[in-house]
Structure 1
Amino acid sequence: MNVTADMMPAHFDLTITPALLRGTVTPPPSKSQSHRVLIAAALGTQVSRIGNLGHSEDIDATRRCMAALKTPGEELPELDCGESGSTLRFLIPVALALRGGGRFTGRGRLMQRPQEPYFALFREKGISYEQKDDVLTVAGTLTAGDYTLRGDVSSQFITGLLYALPLLNGDSRILLTTDLESRGYIDMTLDALKQFGIQVEYDGDRTFRIPGKQHYQSRDITIEADWSNAAFWYAAVSLGCDLDIQGLNAYSAQGDMRIVPYFLKLQAKGRVELDVSQCPDLVPPLAAMAALRSGETTAIVNAARLRIKESDRLAAVTEVLSALGAQVEEFEDHLVIHGKERLAGGVTVSGHNDHRIAMMAAIAAIRCDAAVTITGAECVKKSYPNFWEDYRSLGGNYTCDT
């Protein structure tokens, strides 16, 4: 059964027979850029045209929530964020600015993911919030002024404020109390805001100045290909596949362009240490590459934030690769991986309801000695609905059980 995005079953498992991949592949539209452009366009009063907009579950969540926020009503809007952390965290401040709040719901682990940086600000600003039975209700008036928060928790909190504060009547500042991590994601946010006519002054360190009374302008824009998902095809190349990865912007603001220098480092001999504080989403493909660096050791460090993703990604990466036969040591905030020439395979592994874990398993299966079954393989639709179709078009060999 050839699994394509438009006929994908609600749930399915895949059994992959190891085979090298060959051919040309274009990664899907950038999920990170799609979120940001879609929100900015929806906040404008004129029509914007967005080409190559992604249709993954996460982007559909943002589209759905922005439609709800823009629909007039006297009650707090109901905002179903699916499993999208970006949608939830980006839109909490936006909902306060536009509608005086909202009722946020989600699925999977989404509503368990921490929101304390916002809650601390809300307590300071007199905004009410309540999280009960996986429903987060926020209500109140977002006022201009200073907003102080850490820069090393998640850049999503900063992005949410950067979208909302320009809409307020007065000027505001965001003041970071620690160094900024995931700087590339903030660069993407600032780039999107600038394209839609929003001015933000960033000193490059810990202070953002945001003038008030701004208006989002209309814009025609085409979404570029996604470096985060391209990383899995780079991993396949590292494992011996002959792939031409097309459609990527070499001058992109996407932080996960870091896959290129990290890919090159992993081709060299000797112990390699990769700092993923600025690119946590790259850990699954990097781990797949590291697991098959024959005779070499790789340390993937500053990765604690992966424990609060769609899965506990440090634990999930360790569990899946170890089951395949890799040698992985898991620590609180890092992994140490001792590479092998091949992995045994011949096992069933869970996709952990995490798109990046399922794709990592599919890439690692390329260099296994026996077939690998991935349960819950449909989870790739969160960010890359056509992943299995692309995998097969490149020579991937799998059977599907629904």
Structure 2
Amino acid sequence: MDITIAPRLLKGRITPPPSKSQAHRALIAAALAGGGSRIENLADSQDIQATSRCLAALCAPGSGLPLLDCGESGSTLRFLIPLSLVLRGGGRFTGRGRLMERPQEPYFRLFEEKHVCYSLEAGVLTVRGALPSGCYTLPGNVSSQFITGLLYALPLLEGDSDILLTTPLESGGYVDMALDVLERFGVRAVPNGSCAFHVPGGQTYRPHDMAIESDYSQAAFWYAARGLGSQVELQGLNPFSVQGDRCIVEDSASLCGPGEVELDVSQCPDLVPPLAVQAALRPGQTTRIVGAARLRMKESDRLSAVTQVLNALGSRVEEHPDSLTILGVDTLAGGVAVDSHNDHRIAMMAAVATTRAAAPVTIRGAESVRKSYPNFWEDYQRLGGMFL
């Protein structure tokens, strides 16, 4: 689906959609509690549909390895791999887009050490075996999704376990979110310093009712629009949330001032597209976005996609192996068609960029927003965005 947008600033109030990250974690905990939980304020995004679908297959009665279609959701895949071993002795995982190309080496190394069988053939990852209690060592500077997957599975084993990180933890806010949800559902995982977690075994998930918070990672695009001159008022966000992406409030504010700015996104990589579009329109000011290497294995090579799209619109972005350098301009030329790269965050970035373009912009693959923010285009239009 292609959408052509007329350049104009936005105005109005907006409540961002529910947190996809918190929803994944709450749905899994509720399923492990065996029913009786009520999870409110869920968004019907493709990623949440994937987790719901896979949980139904994983928890269904029957023998044999369940087939779990994770769509394009890295969270679904990485959270459920260890749980499949605990609940069903394994599973067969499939996905779409780039999902099955995204690295799983941290799990594979652990499986070899723990004598768990795995194979990846023709886009299907099969894992089979028993996940033992004990010590699990993995790097902290890969996706926090591996840590979260273990935090959910290890409490169900008979013996105690420990997760040890060999490098400093990145995206720690997502682990904090997992610990928060686990505690709500009656499960303990105890941080031991900054690079270790002790997980007592023999625990039981207990039913719990919770409402999903509004999502700071989606709100980030409206913060960027506001930083570019739109009169957007955000509401419904929890100012005390454990969401790591809450730092968008401070980071966006820093881009509204003069002078060179350096932003380390190692703890909040999903914020790069909205931060980059705001940085692109800081006339004569330089912004460096660093600590972003993991973005190369998202729905797209997100560092490359951000660079291609913003430069096509008329910005000045330099791409480096793990960073971006952006020299701000007064306005974007627009007047072109840009590709979303099948990446929801790139599509939303392009939409925000168009608010400050001199000519209309066509976004190809605009339907990609369904992955995380199904109502994005309706909200954009409600704020005054005009489609041609």
Taking structure 1 as the reference length, the TM-score comes to 0.96
Match for 1:253 among 231, 236, 242?
242
- CA distance in 1 between counterparts of 2:35 and 2:51 reads 19
Q: In 1, Cα distance between the equivalents of 2:132 and 2:23?
A: 28
Q: Structure 2 counterpart of 1:355, which letter?
A: H
- Counterpart position of 2:265: 276
One-letter identity of the residue aligned with 1:232:
F
Residue type matched to 1:71 in 2? Answer: A
Structure 2 residue identity aligned to 1:76: L
1:46 is displaced (CA, Å) by: 3.5
Alpha-carbon deviations, 1:324-380, whole Å to 9, x = none?
A: 000000000000000011000000000100000000000001000000000010000
- Give the 3-state SS of the residue equivalent to 2:333 in structure 1: strand
Give the Å deviation of 1:268.
Answer: 1.2
The equivalent residue for 1:263 is 252
Alpha-carbon distance between aligned partners in 1 of 2:131 and 2:43, rounded to the nearest angstrom: 30
Are 2:71 and 1:76 aligned? no
1: distance between equivalents of 2:171 and 2:194?
A: 13
Equivalent position amino acid for 2:235 in 1: Q
| Structure 1 residue 45: Cα displacement | 2.3
Partner of 1:7: none
Q: Distance in 2 between matches of 1:149 and 1:234?
A: 35
Aligned twin of 1:104? 93
Q: Is residue 288 from structure 1 mapped to residue 277 from structure 2 by the alignment?
A: yes
SS in 2 for 1:369: coil
Q: CA deviation at 1:54?
A: 1.8
CA distance in 2, matches of 1:69, 1:394: 41
**Which residue is 2:343 aligned to?**
354
Amino acid at match of 1:334: S
Question: Over aligned residue pairs, what C-alpha RMSD do you find?
Answer: 0.6
Provide the secondary structure at the position in 1 that maps to 2:305.
helix
Q: Secondary structure at the match of 1:298?
A: strand
**Aligned counterpart, 2:51:** 62
Q: Match for 1:95 among 78, 84, 107?
A: 84
Does structure 1 retain, via aligned residues, the 8 Å contact 2:286–2:325?
A: yes
- 1:294 CA drift (Å): 1.1
Code of the residue aligned with 2:355 in structure 1: it is: I
Give me the whole-angstrom Cα distance separating, in 1, the residues matched to 2:347 and 2:35: 40
Amino acid in structure 2 at the alignment position of 1:386:
N
* 2:342 alignment partner AA: N
Cα displacement string for residues 198-232 of structure 1 (whole angstroms, at most 9, x for unaligned residues): 01110241110001111100001000100000000
Runs of 4 or more above 2 Å deviation: none
Partner of 1:5: none
Aligned equivalent of 1:312, options 301, 319, 322: 301
Kept after mapping to 1: 8 A contact 2:290/2:322: yes
- What's the counterpart of residue 26 of structure 2? 37
Matched, 1:241 2:217: no
Q: Show CA shifts across 1:188-207 (max 9, x none).
A: 00000000000111024111
Instruction: Tell me the distance in 2 between the aligned counterparts of 1:294 and 1:21.
Output: 20
Which amino acid is 2:341 matched to? H
Who is 2:143 aligned against? 154
SS at match of 2:52: helix
Partner of 2:131: 142
Secondary structure of residue in 2 paired with 1:310: coil
How many residues align? The count is 388
Q: Secondary structure at the match of 1:277?
A: coil
| 3-state secondary structure, aligned to 2:214 | coil
2:162 is equivalent to residue 170 of structure 1: no
The CA distance in 2 between the partners of 1:285 and 1:116, in whole Å, is 29
> CA–CA distance in 1 between the matches of 2:178 and 2:59?
21
Which residue, 168, 179, 202 being the options, matches 1:179? Answer: 168
* Cα displacement (A) at 1:118: 0.1
Corresponding residue of 1:342: 331
SS in 2 for 1:267: coil
Give the superposition deviation at 1:29: 0.3
Contact 2:7 2:355 in 1 (8 A): yes
* Secondary structure class of the residue paired with 1:368: coil
Q: Contact 2:227–2:253 (CA<8 Å) still a contact in 1?
A: no
Mapped partners of 1:329, 1:178: distance in 2: 28
Percentage of matched positions with identical amino acids: 65
Describe the SS at the equivalent of 1:47.
coil
Aligned to 1:120: 109
